[in-house]
Amino acid sequence: MGANPADNSNRRGEPWALGTVLGYASANIFDRIAVVQADPLMGPVWRGLPSLVLGIILVLKHRTLGQLRPGSTQYIGARPILAFVAAGVISTLGLFSFYFAMVVGGVTITIPVQETYVIWGTLIAWIFLGERIGGYALGGILLIFVGLVALSFGEARGAPISMHWYWAIPLALATALTYGVSGVLWRDGQLRGAHQSVAILLQFFTSVAVGLAGLLLAGKFSVVKMASWTAIADFLASGILSGIFAIYCMFTALRLMAVARVYAFSALTPLVATLSAHFLLHEFLNWLMITGILLVSVGVILTQVFRPAEERQA
């Protein structure tokens, strides 16, 4: 019998799905290295720059700038534009929390907790967009909660990277909440006709601007000039790996294999990130923490994979 073309397509898509996981997990490692060397307040600015450059290139390539000009036949209106600007503001506030969580809790606490953004995104989409929540998603939310409890107990009994590690939990939860809200705003903007290139441009232009404003308001704009080139390179590497490499791998995987399988691969990110932090950065990890992280990953799979088909295709 001849080979099934769909099966071959899936096999070609699997390396790209794994590339997404490795891209995000590697970005997390660079984030942790960067905040050890430099003020975490400068993180959102440098991390957002690669994605801003990507947005500019994509808008020029697809000739979608007209979507932002009133009077143009392409103009999409004020609401989707404001949605992406709001997503940029909110997600950048979350990034500030993320980097401070990285300082006190490291990768092993911050990243699994941050993954709870799927809960907030699901709940917010249910409330504001009328999207359904299935039984599998509810089961996934429960598993994520149990996994976070196990992770916390494991860290409390171990050797955390700082005496204030527990602050990483509310900080990372704040990041997760902002990511969940931003995801809903993105979906709303795209459903109203915005091209993806315009979304990227608006969000990351806003993100860099908010990052600079945060430095000014904190009276720490000088840290940008004082930061070492190594720290800047680490922040930029994180931006390239997460905002360009991982995104490109994800979109390529989505073209080659089922959406559910891509989401299943993506749910491995917390496990890969924490194991990498353990072996490369020597962050503490015990079996109770690993169990918690595995439960979070399974919960993410259930929450993402078993959404209604029409929502996964949008």
d(CA 303, CA 313): 15
d(CA 140, CA 148): 12
Place of tokens 């902002």: 178
Identify residue 69 by its one-letter amino acid code: R
Over the stretch 55-84, which tens digit does the pLDDT of each residue have?
Answer: 999 999 999 999 999 999 999 999 999 999
For the chain, which residues make up each domain, given as ranges?
A: 5-132+162-257
Q: What is the pLDDT of residue 312?
A: 46
Q: Any idea what DSSP says for residue 41?
A: G
d(CA 189, CA 84): 7
Q: Each residue of 264-302: b (16+ CB within 10 Å) or e?
A: bbbbbbbbbbbbbbbeeeebbbbebbbbbbbbbbbbbbb
At residue 305 the predicted structure's pLDDT band, cuts being 50, 70 and 90, is: low
d(CA 146, CA 266): 20
Over the stretch 142-180, which tens digit does the pLDDT of each residue have?
Answer: 888 899 999 999 988 888 888 899 999 999 999 999 988
d(CA 129, CA 152): 33
Q: What is the pLDDT of residue 10?
A: 53
pTM of the model: 0.86
- Give the number of other CB atoms < 10 A from CB of residue 311: 14
User: Residue 23 corresponds to which tokens in the numbers above?
Assistant: 């891209």
**131 close to 125: Cβ distance less than 8 angstroms:** yes
